[in-house]
A and B are shown apart, each in its own frame.
Chain A
């Protein structure tokens, strides 16, 4: 049982079970919770947050952070809506292509100029957000193809939709890549110890732009499909997707220190977050509570993953032991001596 608990990718699923139980209790048998509608709503949210969390998670695995996903979502939505009127696939393809190009650009700057990701992606976020803002002119651009908007959201097998299936597919492809291919292993190596990986012969200067290209593509995919489903692209939409996506990735087992976390685990993380939100919604809690819960979870996880957590806990434990249980430095019972 212990190894199972310790596995970072299994934990989110255990959490999922726990939350389901808690929500079922909160429901109190009123049947608001266990409905197809709730499941559909959860999976729709999964479709929105999932790809973004995956991209962000990949950037965290190489021990970086892609702040620009927020801006990419908006801009990709604009691109898809503006170019996808006659051929929706073209719109999505162009958006994804842009995401790829921008991600490569950011990654290349980081490698070439030896900069950290926070600075570069912050600039990217502001630039992309600004571009989206300019393109939309502070209004929403509506998407004329209502049929596409409906098709993308039409229930498949009563709980899925085209969007959520795409999201799952993307996760599964990523899972295969990370677990079974050499490139996936190199990504973990780059995050675990970049210098060691480079010395061993891994092309880290290619891996980094590739990962950022992926996170750009994934954000673009998510953003474009979302705009289709809303039949509108807005310059302001979802600049705060960053918080739930980060929370989802971290709950899913990704570590801020890099080198850890799997796509399968991230699926669990996203589901946990979406379940929390949709479930809380279904049992009637106000939306603000969802923010508090998300924030609280993120806060706890930040502490759990903190660098100096162990030393501080140790110091607290030792302090308590000395103060309350009269044990000395070596853990032996202390005799009160005049010298001290």
Chain B
């Protein structure tokens, strides 16, 4: 888990990628120890490596993971998190289901556009006016929930016909959600590491005023980050709706917290400017592994939930070691 460097670019000087400060090195050591401990527990848990548990693990992680990648863009831009991604997930699914009469391609376009627009509106206000991102996302949560409940009358939306069937299949032998998750991680990481947008995103998240002074347009970049988040979330929403054959507001509950947990546990800084899609990918997996391990050892879902919460708290506290102060 090295600092923000240019991966795959020329000669890799991994030694230089390690943090220079003593506290930074302690942090890396702690993280490594945690991963090793987790692997040890997993190896000693009967039933962990069976195909069944691994595949179900991967599938449940995929939906949360997509949203987590979207959340990563928002966190990297310095805007902490969004409370509205979960509800965007479910409403994108609803829109997708409702638009299926347009054919699969048309419905996809409409659903993606919806997700991008809904999150983009938040990004506009946060970027151009620099409104408080937490408050704006709360407002969006209320607005979207209210609007969607009003329109759907609290009922689920069911597809007519079978247009969504292709989305329930497998791609290269893996399930569609997992393929989509991997695809999202790869695309997001490429964007963050290799494109100008990605680099500028790190700058804006690191220091808004310095970005201004350097001649960037931070508002546009924040807007881009939120739109990216909307697209990732819409993708998850579409696939989830296809999987359960219904669009329903219930589907997205709790996803905001799961997503931000994955982002933080993966090591992205909550203050912005530091982190990556791969880290969130790893974070989502670590959380999923913890959940499965707890389950296999006989702990209830409630204990799993609590454990994740405590882990997040500890990870946040450890973040202080990352600051060379």
Contacts and interface: CB of A to CB of B under 8 A. Distances in A.
B47 to A, nearest CB: 23
Interface string B133-144: 011101111111
Interface in B301-318: 301-303, 305-310, 312-317
A299 B130 CA distance: 13
A292 B142 contact: yes
Contacts of A122: 81, 260, 264, 270, 312, 316
Interface stretch (B24-32, B111-119, B146-154): B146-154
A118 B309 contact: no
A289 B150 contact: yes
A12 to B, nearest CB: 17
Contacts of B155: none
The secondary-structure label for the interface of chain A is helix
Contacts of B141: 243, 295
B309 A126 contact: yes
Interface string A202-216: 000000000000000
A126 B261 contact: yes
Contact of B146 (A123, A128, A288): A288
Contact of B150 (A134, A286, A302, A312): A286
Interface residues of B, number: 49
B161 to A, nearest CB: 29
Contacts of A230: none
Contact of A298 (B130, B138, B257): B138
A302 B125 CA distance: 9
Interface residues of A, number: 53
Contact of A130 (B81, B147, B264, B305): B305
B49 interface: no
A115 to B, nearest CB: 6
A155 B129 CA distance: 46
Nearest to A240: B141
A119 B319 contact: yes
B189 interface: no
Interface string A115-127: 1101110111111
Contact of B302 (A116, A128, A138, A243): A138
Given A134-B306, A306-B130, A114 B320 contact: yes
A296 B310 contact: no
A109 interface: yes
B278 to A, nearest CB: 21
User: Which 9 pairs across A and B sit closest by C-beta, in order of nearness?
Assistant: A123-B313, A295-B142, A130-B306, A291-B146, A126-B309, A295-B143, A292-B146, A298-B139, A306-B129
